[in-house]
Chain A
Amino acid sequence: DAGVIQSPRHEVTEMGQEVTLRCKPISGHDYLFWYRQTMMRGLELLIYFNNNVPIDDSGMPEDRFSAKMPNASFSTLKIQPSEPRDSAVYFCASSLLVGGGNEQFFGPGTRLTVL
């Protein structure tokens, strides 16, 4: 299996621009997670989906952030408009079953820089 795939790997944009991050989970996994990693806050969950339905979006920082999962093999995280404080590494992860006993497999991450 190819693992979790994320694109782009690096994104540099200017403040105010729209940014779209993409994720393809491992085939057959029912759960998809978006995390953000920063030096100040560490790794934090933004949102997760079960069978394409958002379950918990309490970690989404504000209305500028939105996430969708139109089908089982694709998800997007959109930031509009982007701000410099959004600069971070964004990870997508997937798991076969939720419930704490199942490990999440992470993608390589997208390093976002907002100038």
Chain B
Amino acid sequence: AQKVTQAQTEISVVEKEDVTLDCVYETRDTTYYLFWYKQPPSGELVFLIRRNSFDEQNEISGRYSWNFQKSTSSFNFTITASQVVDSAVYFCALSEDYGGSQGNLIFGKGTKLSVKP
């Protein structure tokens, strides 16, 4: 069964602190894709990153970085030097690549990040 677990419901940090959002996934497929989306207070869902199951290279984009580890089925997201504008709910999602579930994004419950000035 497919499942995405974001154990941290809410995180509160002070501006300029680093923060890591955890994501653990379950899948039986060998080919799958992982995503992070951001939902700011305005409500829209913004795509941040996509990784496929064959590429375990970590990625850095500005203040954002992602750590993908197949051995622990984790795809964690770190924000360095957090800013107030980073305050949002962050969703981790999984998509498998077979049969009927092709295209279906399975979302975690989300982690609400509050960055205080």
Q: CB-nearest residue of chain B relative to A106? A: B45
- The reply to whether A55 and B103 contact each other, CB–CB distance below 8 Å, is yes
- The reply to whether B32 and A100 contact each other, CB–CB distance below 8 Å, is yes
- The reply to whether A103 and B104 contact each other, CB–CB distance below 8 Å, is no
Q: What 0/1 readout, one digit per residue, does chain A (96-112) give for beta carbons within 8 Å of chain B?
A: 00111101111111010
Q: CB-nearest residue of chain A relative to B91? A: A43
Point out which of A31, A44, A106, A111 has the most chain B C-beta atoms below 10 A from its C-beta: A106
Q: Which of B70-111 contact A (CB under 8 A)?
A: 91, 95-97, 100-105, 107-110
- The reply to whether B47 and A105 contact each other, CB–CB distance below 8 Å, is yes
Q: What 0/1 readout, one digit per residue, does chain A (38-58) give for beta carbons within 8 Å of chain B?
A: 000011110010100001100
Q: List residues of chain A with CB within 8 A of the CB of B107.
A: 42-44
Partner of A100 from the list B33, B91, B110 (CB cut-off 8 Å) is B33
- The reply to whether A100 and B100 contact each other, CB–CB distance below 8 Å, is no
Q: Decide yes or no: A103 and B35 within 8 Å by CB, A108-B43, A109-B44 being known contacts.
A: yes
Q: List residues of chain B with CB within 8 A of the CB of A31.
A: 103
Q: List residues of chain B with CB within 8 A of the CB of A109.
A: 43-45
- CA of A106 to CA of B108, assembled, Å: 16
Q: Decide yes or no: A98 and B102 within 8 Å by CB, A42-B109, A42-B110, A43-B91 being known contacts.
A: yes
Q: List residues of chain B with CB within 8 A of the CB of A56.
A: 100-101, 103-104
- The reply to whether A33 and B103 contact each other, CB–CB distance below 8 Å, is yes
Q: CB-nearest residue of chain B relative to A109? A: B43
Partner of B105 from the list A45, A55, A108, A111 (CB cut-off 8 Å) is A45
- CA of A33 to CA of B103, assembled, Å: 9
- CA of A107 to CA of B43, assembled, Å: 10
Q: List residues of chain A with CB within 8 A of the CB of B50.
A: 101, 103
- CA of A104 to CA of B104, assembled, Å: 10
Footprint of A on B, CB under 8 Å?
A: 31-33, 35, 37, 43-47, 50, 52, 91, 95-97, 100-105, 107-110
In order of increasing CB-CB distance, the 10 nearest A-B pairs are A100-B95, A100-B33, A98-B103, A106-B45, A43-B107, A100-B97, A103-B47, A42-B109, A108-B44, A101-B33
